[in-house]
Amino acid sequence: MRLPLATLLRLAWRNLWRNYRRTLIMLLAIAVGVWAMIAMSAFLRGMTDQMVRSGLNTLPGEVQIHQSNYRADPSVVNSMPPPDGDLLDALNQPPITAWTSRVRVPAMVSSEYDSRGVILLGVDPEGETAIGALPDTIVEGRFLSDADDRGVVLGQRLVERLDTAMGKRVVLMSQDPDNNVADRGARVVGIYRARLRSTEDTLVYAARNPTQSMLKLGSAVSEVAVIGGDYRHSESLVPPLAAAVTNMQLVQSWQQLDPYLGSMLKVQDGFTLIFMVVIFLALSFGLVNTLVMAVFERMREIGLMQALGMRPGLILLQVLIESVLLLSLGLIVGNVAAWLTIKPLESGIDISAVADGMEMMAMGTTLYPALDGRDMLTSTAIVVGLGILASLLPAWRAARLDPIRALAKT
Amino acid sequence: MSSIRCNDLCKTFEQGGETIVGLDHVSLSIEEGEFVCLSGPSGSGKTTLLNAMGGLDTPDSGRIQVGDAVLTDLSRGQLADMRLQNVGFVFQAYNLVPVLSARENVEFVMQVQGVDARQRSQRVQEVLAEVGLEGLESRLPAELSGGQQQRVAVARAIASKPKLVLADEPTANLDTRSAAQLMGLFVSLNQRGITFVIATHDSRVMGYARRLVKLQDGRMISDEAQEPTAMVV
């Protein structure tokens, strides 16, 4: 026997609108629930993205190559030659989209008033631009012009702490490979703002060539930083690079470089799922109630359909189709509402009023909600999947009705 | 071949702590093409017997056979299939699906049977014309009179060409004229070979039957052939 799907659909659709007030209220509840699921996950994803990106900005680079002892002792002693041969070939292959090499050593920066311990980045501005690792905003002056620029770019907070200013000279000081003091004077050519004020305190940008000269490194670098298409999948960049480096070099993704940061994504995905399920559980009571009432009100009709020869399985299917139609309508309204309300906010919401608190969570003064198609799909799957499960009880009860008793209902 | 064969049917109900006898050792055979009335006062067991013949109710003991199918041996699903393929029901309260139009109500059983759309449409036109409802196809049940609704119910019952039509007090909610028209329709359909079993306590309806089975307190007290006395309008 063919499944009379068109008949069941038509019946289910018309039955939904028999009590249109109840259907509209339930529809609204589902739509608001779906909207809440998507909005909540967009905000949560936006926060996590910012935390991860802030973390990546302090690395910076999604995958890094170091001399194998560099992580334990990030000094000039553990530098490595610049990429060449197989490694250079591997770096220029997709899915790698850009890379750069830099010097990165602990250093001191001194003004005429104060000194601070910092991380000195000797960078090639062109390479940093390519991997998107430039400071967030240059608030005064400019960034370094090229790999030979002799200026220095400081964070705004560091400038305040050193009591220095644009155009003034500071002294950069570290150690060369022979453990001798290596230093040079540099003029402040730019001041940057970072999403995290702590970054402004820590990272000092100088051009790579003068830094290598100061540290007597020749052409050696501390690290090679690499990016691909999506930071969430940067682990896939590791194997081809690992095959191309020497025994003395180590290729690590940002998840390995900063396991805490890596675990945040998993935690976020877990929380998103839990929130979605909790929202749905609240919703499911309304859904079950609606269907139970619909079955109760139509007991006589259900008995009639059984009397006319509709198998119990078809009765069950009809109630489930009704539920799926209700859920689908709610999903459409909820998804569209979420898209319309959250998409315009993706350019950022000013949360400077709570900036200090947010900085503790490695976030800046602007929250960028991230509307993700996967979250919309997940919420859809949860609503449909759990919705059908929740509807099984009233549907089963309908299918098990005794036709004689059901027909006797007034 | 016997169309319906009931052997020693017994059925009791519990109601308010009391045991009520629905059927008390009832045995009855109805041949194909017969027009039978089950009569008796309220509580006599006629509806219980009718429901048992249609596979809607299961006796506590005894055996019912409709055609080749032994209903007492069938599962719920198999009983549903048996009703779908072989039995048309007409109820006292019409029992139309309120969200479906007259045409859709008539079509419903055929849709569940899987009859293709063209055949369905043709058959619906035929039966609606037969019951005198041309032009009212798209009306919802609430937009039809009681007599018209009962005609839709009859059209639904016969649309799938069942071998057997079971009707439970089909004229109870109809005025005299509508009741006479309905019975005339039943007689005409019966003359084309459909077996009719009608549960009723309406003496006007009994006048159309060629066989009258009387029940009382669940027992069959008489089973007599008769000449129809009522005039078909």
- Angstrom distances, CA of residue A226 to CA of A92, A118, A399, B125, B160: 10, 23, 60, 74, 73
Contacts of B115 in chain A (CB under 8 A): none
Closest CA to B26 of B5, B40, B42, B41: B5
Higher-confidence position of A13 and A359: A13
Contacts of B57 in chain A (CB under 8 A): 404
3-class secondary-structure state, position A174: strand
Q: What is the pLDDT, as a whole number, of residue B33?
A: 92
Q: What is the pLDDT, as a whole number, of residue B2?
A: 42
Name every residue in B having a CB less than 8 A away from some CB of A: 51, 54, 56-57, 76-77, 80-85, 87, 89, 91, 95, 97-100, 104, 108-109, 111-114, 156
Restricting to A residues 307-326, those with a Cβ less than 8 Å away from any Cβ of B are 307-314
C-alpha triplet A16, A19, A22: angle, nearest 5°: 90
Most confident of A235-239, A350-354, B51-55: B51-55
Is the distance from CB of A346 to CB of A366 less than 8 angstroms? no
Q: What is the pLDDT, as a whole number, of residue B1?
A: 38
Domain ranges of chain B: 2-225
Q: Which of A23, A304, A308 to mutate to test the interface with B (most CBs of B within 10 A)?
A: A308
A309 conformational bin, left if phi > 0, alpha if psi -120 to 50, beta if neither: left
Restricting to A residues 1-60, those with a Cβ less than 8 Å away from any Cβ of B are 1-2, 4, 6-7, 10-11, 14-15, 18
Q: Is A310–B76 a contact, with Cβ atoms under 8 angstroms apart?
A: no
CA of A322, closest CA in chain B: separation in Å?
14
Indicate if the pLDDT at residue A2 is higher than 70.
no
Contacts of A10 in chain B (CB under 8 A): 100, 104
How many residues in total does chain B contain? 233
Contacts of A407 in chain B (CB under 8 A): 56, 91, 95
Cβ contacts of A395 within 8 Å, gap of 6 or more: A291, A295, A315, A316, A317, A319, A320, A323
CA of B91, closest CA in chain A: separation in Å?
10
Q: Please give the single-letter amino acid code of residue B169.
A: E
Q: Is B114–A301 a contact, with Cβ atoms under 8 angstroms apart?
A: no
Q: How many CA atoms lie within 13 A of B203 on its CB side?
A: 0
CA of B226, closest CA in chain A: separation in Å?
31
- Compute the average pLDDT of residues A137-143: 88
Confidence of residue A252 (pLDDT cuts 50, 70, 90): confident
Indicate if the pLDDT at residue A191 is higher than 80.
yes
Q: Which of B42, B81, B100, B108 to mutate to test the interface with A (most CBs of A within 10 A)?
A: B108
Summarised one tens digit per residue, pLDDT across range A329-341 is 999 999 999 999 9
Contacts of B85 in chain A (CB under 8 A): 309
The closest CB to that of B51, out of A305, A314, A404, belongs to A404
CA of A381, closest CA in chain B: separation in Å?
30
Q: Give the number of beta-carbon pairs within 8 Å between A and B.
A: 72
- Compute the average pLDDT of residues A202-224: 90
- Compute the average pLDDT of residues A270-293: 83
Closest CA to A107 of A207, A212, A203: A203
pLDDT, averaged across chain A: 84
Summarised one tens digit per residue, pLDDT across range A141-184 is 998 888 889 999 999 999 999 999 999 999 999 988 888 888 88
User: To which H or E segment does residue A227 belong?
Assistant: strand A223-227
Q: Is A4–B112 a contact, with Cβ atoms under 8 angstroms apart?
A: yes
Q: Residue written as tokens 């037969």? A: B130
Is the distance from CB of A60 to CB of A239 less than 8 angstroms? no
Q: Please give the single-letter amino acid code of residue B31.
A: E
pLDDT in tens, chain B (233 residues): 348 999 999 999 888 888 889 999 999 999 999 999 999 998 899 999 999 999 999 999 999 999 888 998 999 889 999 999 899 999 888 889 999 999 999 999 999 888 988 999 999 999 898 888 888 899 999 999 988 998 899 899 989 889 899 999 988 888 888 888 889 989 988 998 899 999 998 888 899 999 999 999 999 999 999 888 776 66
Indicate if the pLDDT at residue A132 is higher than 90.
no
CA of A14, closest CA in chain B: separation in Å?
6
Strand pairing category for A152-155 and A181-193: parallel
Confidence of residue A357 (pLDDT cuts 50, 70, 90): low
The CATH number assigned to the domain with range B2-225 reads: 3.40.50.300
Higher-confidence position of A195 and A356: A195
Contacts of A306 in chain B (CB under 8 A): 80
Q: What percent of chain A has pLDDT over 70?
A: 94
Q: Is B81–A312 a contact, with Cβ atoms under 8 angstroms apart?
A: no
Indicate if the pLDDT at residue A56 is higher than 90.
no
Q: What is the pLDDT, as a whole number, of residue A361?
A: 58
Distance, CA of B131 to CA of B108 (rounded, Å): 17
Indicate if the pLDDT at residue A279 is higher than 90.
no
The closest CB to that of A308, out of B76, B84, B99, belongs to B84
Indicate if the pLDDT at residue A135 is higher than 60.
yes
First to last CA, chain A: 32
Q: Does A353 touch chain B (CB under 8 A)?
A: no
Is the distance from CB of B86 to CB of B162 less than 8 angstroms? yes
